[in-house]
Every structure is written in C-alpha cells, then in structure tokens.
Chain A
Amino acid sequence: MKLRPFGGLILIAGMAGLGLLLPGWSRFLLTLALARGLLVLGVVLLMQAGLVSFGQGLFFAAGAYAVGFAARDLGIRDAWLGVALGAGAGLGIAALTGPLLARYRGIFFAMLTLAFSMILYGVLVKAYWITGGTDGLRIPPPTFLGWSPPEEHLGSALYLFTLACTAVMVFLIFRYLQSPLGYTVRAIRDNEVRVEYLGLSVSRALYITVLLVGAMGGLGGALSAMSVGHIDPNLAYWTTSGEFVFVALLGGTGNVFAPLVGSIVFEFLRTYAYKYIPYTWQMGLGLIMLAIVGFAPGGLWSLYELITRRMSGWMWSWKRGA
C-alpha cells in the first residue's frame, strides 16, 4: 500500500465530521472503537511477524491504570499527559517483558503473553489497597491543556482527541511497516532462519516490535479509560485479549486500516447484539468468528478488496463497451 497524504487528510476530516454529526451514543462507540483499535493494530503488527498475542490486555490495563493512578494520586487530569503516561506505562511493561517474549514463537508466545496479562490481572485484584481491587477506579473527566470542556462538549472533544492520536499512530505504523525493520519482521514470519543467515537480528526486530505494540496498547488503554470513565481488572483478563484477536481477524490482518474498520464494526455489532440477543450474543460472535475462519480468512478487508476488484473489472469492460 502506498501512503497518500492527501487521501489520509480527507479520511481524517471525514471521520471527524462524521463523529460530530452522529448522535452522542454512536460517537462514544466510535471513540471506544478507535481506542481499542490501537490494541487490535498491535495484534495485527505481531501477526505480521507470525506471532499471536493473547495478552494485549496487559498493555491495555497498564495504560488505563496509569491514567487512573495519575488522576487519583497526582491529581493529573490532563488528556495529553494521560496518554503520555499511558503509552509510557505500556512501553515500560513491554521493555520488561519483551526480552522474554522475543525468544518464543507460536503457541508459546501466545501462552506467555496470556500469562503476563493474567499476572497483572492477579496484581490488580489482590493489591486492592492500591488498585481498588475488583471495584476498579473512577476516572474523572479529562481536561485539555487547562481547558475543561463543558459537559455537553466533552464527548466530542474526547472523540477528536482520540481520532488525532489514532491517526498519528496509524501514520507511525505505516512508516514502520515500510521501513527495513518492518520488512524484516514480515520476513521473520516467512522464514526466521533465513533472516538470521542474512545477518539480521531476529530478536532485536521482534523486541522493537513488542515495544511499539506495548506503547500503542498503553495509549489505547489510556484513551479508552478517559472516555469510559471507569477501569477495573477485567481489562487485563484473557477474554479481553481474546476479543482483540477476534477483532483483528474480523477486520483482516493485511494492512493498517483493516483493524480499525474491524474495531468499529465490532463495537456496533456488539452493541446491537446486546440489545437484540442479550442472552446469546456471545454465541452470535462465535458463529460469526467461525464463518470468518471458514469462508473469509482475510476478514472484512478481503471482502472489500474482492468487491473493488470486481468493480474495477466491470469498469474496464464497460469502458471497452463490452
């Protein structure tokens, strides 16, 4: 995929306009979808290296709790500081766990990420005098560089802020995937031994990727904490991480937009599932997932590609007058 700066700006402006026009509840869903989309993007990034992370909840919760602690103990309510702290927390945890994670592949990688996130879950539940235990913490509405948006504009402000952060991250990931490092990571997926024979350091490339995924996950956690206004240890539970993997496959793992599209579709899907099939919504998700695995392994994005290919085919034949 090529980077098209103009198209990108139009897309961002369109998203901003759309978000402001939509009713409040769907703007909230969009905000949440973008924030969680960053975690999904992390799953996809690791999948490019052939790794499945079943522990994105680790970074998610780290970012969210960083915001929570900053607000409760330091009185920091600023959104900019909040995302910096969140990303920093994710990065810090990735720096600690990364050296170990980068040594494992396949199922072992998946299980190790899962174990780390469950350890954090255990800490969050057990150290209730610090973390508030299973009750979690309340996050006060954020301010933006001293400006405290009035109640009715808070949702829009958060949405635009989240959109901006997501756009920056997507751009960075775009650059990363087109850098030598990004190509190395995809080569690792194809054949790790050959990459090593070429003189490239596999573990270094994977470590940097884990750092990136961690920081991005922390950022997503911070954004989602600020817009939901409440956090609890379930953010680190393995089913949360499982959901991120699910969304990654729903969207498709081929490029940087698919995870965000998947995330948005998923948030709306889940909201409607709660509404119309409250007792069997998990079953609904399961069936959709089976359908994806069986019939569209490339996710929604592959359907989009199929359609555009067909369309351009028709356009050609129409132009030729056939």
Chain B
Amino acid sequence: METALIILTDGLVYASWLFLISAGLTLIYGVLRILNLAHGSLYALGAYAAASVVLVYFDRGLWPLGSYLALLGAALVVGAVAGPLIERGLLRWIYGRDPVYQLLATYALFLILEDLMKLVWGVNPYYAYKPYGLLGIVQLGGIPYPGYSFLLLGVALLAGGSLYLFIHSTRIGRLVVAMIHDPEISAAMGVNVPRVSLLTFTLGAVLAALGGAFTAPMISVVPGLSVEVIVLAFAVVVIGGLGSLEGSAAGALLVGLVRSLMVHRIPALELFAIYLVMAMVLLLRPHGLFGMEEVRRV
C-alpha cells in the first residue's frame, strides 16, 4: 500500500516536471508551427538565473520563504527577456520556411545559447539547494518524502490551471486557439498574427524558464542541462499530440506514472520508459493522444 502511494506520488511529481518543460514547447509549436530545439536552453537559462538569484538572496540573509518568489521572478525575467529577443531576432525570419530549415535554425540557436551560458556562468556547478530544504520532510504513509516535491506539483498545477483559464476565457487566449487551429483563416479574420506569435513564444519561454527555475534547487546546475531536457520534452509533446496543451498534460501524466512504476518495479527499464510509451502511443494513434489528423492535399 505504501509502495503504491509512493509510486503514485513519484509519478505525479515527475509528471509535473515533465508538464512544465513540455507545455511551452507544444504551445509554441501549435501557434508558430516551429519545433523549438532551443526550448531546453530556455529551461537551462531559467535554472542558471534562478540559482544565481537564490545564492545572492540567501547571502543577503532575507526572509527564507521569499526565495520561492525569487525563483518565480527569475523565471519571469528570463522568459520575458529571452522570449521576445529570440522571436523578434530569429524566428520571425523563418516562419513558413521548410521545416528542415526551421529545425536547423533553432538547433543553431541551441548551440549558440549553450556556449553563451558557459561564457556567462562558467562550467562549475551551482548549488542553490537552500529552498529545497526549507519545506522539510513530509510523512507519506510512514515514509519520509521531501516537501519540495509537492511545491513542484503545486507550481505545475498552478501553471497548467492558469494556462487553461487564459486560453479558454480571455480574448487573446481564444485568438491563440484560433491560430492553433488555422493560422491562415485567423489572419484573414484580422488576428494580429505577429503580436499573438510574440506573446505565445514569450509565454512558452516563461514556462520553460519556470521549469528550470523550480528544478534548480533540486539539482546541481551544470552545463548540458538543456540537452537532456529537450529530448524528454519532445517525447511528451509527441505522445500528447503536437500543439495540444491537454495532450501534453496527459502525456506527462502517462509518462510520469509509467516511469515511476518502472523505477520501483523494473529499474533496468527506467531509462526507456518514455520511449516505450511514445512508441506504443504512436503505434496506436499516429498523431498522438490529442493530435489532429492533418489533411492530405493532392
């Protein structure tokens, strides 16, 4: 019974992390039709920024619990600065190009950001573990569990919930949905496409940075974070269906639970959990769980 509870909790926590890193990616793909290979770099930027901010924050001896606001602030700043810079500076030149070139342009961006981060933060690891310990240990059916994991869960739920509200009940959110479904018709109906694109990309960047910022206290922030994240995020997005937020939530949940089941039951397969889920889903539903079938044009 306790094991089941732990498996479930582990799965949910991992799923929230997966959701944070993949929601932005799927949103960006949905509106801009660009698969952003540099999404992992935004995540890493968020992690680095958060780690630096937290270290400074605790050096000043400020109110410890406020460090969570510092994490949030770091993510917002990173997303709001890097997002528009990338969208205006690079992506708007490649809209509508052959997908190969779009993929390559964002791959180039990934390479550039990778070295840029090394130049700014160096190659030594950053340890911003203090916020991790603040929430103490929660007893989960007699088994100690780090409280911070539940914060991550909360952040993901909050992010997912506000995204849902934003998309379904604000005007601009509905424009985003319209563009996801048909960019051409939306443009013809007078949607300000460049503005919605800019906004969406920034939102996606903030989400990625948020994932990085709230992961930073749990890990040592080192170069190479982005490389691993991007593959996982892609897999989740493909499982859920490209461009579908609900899909990436469902995909994250599925992968999270399967992975934690494997960690506890068949540890040797843990590394493949996500790919196994992906292969299974794609076999049964070639366009992902919530994906839309594309119309074949003759």
Contact = CB atoms under 8 A, between A and B. Distances in A.
Q: Answer yes or no: are A and B bound together in one complex.
A: yes
Interface of A: 47, 52, 54, 100, 103-104, 106-108, 110-112, 114-116, 118-119, 122-123, 125-126, 191-194, 197, 238-239, 242, 245-246, 249, 279-283, 285-287, 289-290, 292-294, 297
B108 A280 contact: no
Given A122-B271, A238-B227, A283-B112, 15 more contacts: A107-B35, A107-B99, A108-B286, A114-B234, A115-B275, A119-B272, A193-B296, A242-B107, A245-B107, A246-B104, A283-B116, A285-B111, A286-B107, A290-B90, A290-B112
Interface residues of B, number: 42
A192 B234 CA distance: 26
Contact of B107 (A103, A246, A281, A297): A246
Interface of B: 35, 90, 93-94, 97-101, 103-105, 107-112, 114-116, 118-119, 227, 231, 234-235, 238, 242, 268, 271-272, 275, 278-279, 282-283, 286-287, 296-298
Contacts of A281: 115
Nearest to A106: B99
A19 B111 CA distance: 32
Contacts of B99: 52, 106-107
Q: Name B's interface SS.
A: helix
Contacts of A292: 104
A245 B102 CA distance: 12
A111 B238 contact: yes
Contacts of B297: 193
A115 B279 contact: yes
Contact of A239 (B104, B105, B118, B227): B227
A280 B275 contact: no
Contacts of A108: 238, 282, 286-287
B286 A104 contact: yes
B119 A280 contact: yes
B104 A293 contact: yes
B112 A286 contact: yes
Contacts of A112: 282
A75 B105 CA distance: 45
B83 to A, nearest CB: 18
A279 B104 contact: no
Contacts of A286: 107-112, 115
Contacts of A197: 298
A279 B118 contact: yes
Contacts of B275: 115-116, 118-119, 122
A155 to B, nearest CB: 31
A196 B284 CA distance: 23
20 contacts: A47-B100, A52-B103, A107-B242, A108-B282, A111-B235, A115-B279, A119-B275, A122-B275, A123-B272, A126-B271, A192-B296, A249-B104, A282-B115, A283-B116, A286-B110, A290-B109, A293-B94, A293-B108, A297-B98, A297-B101
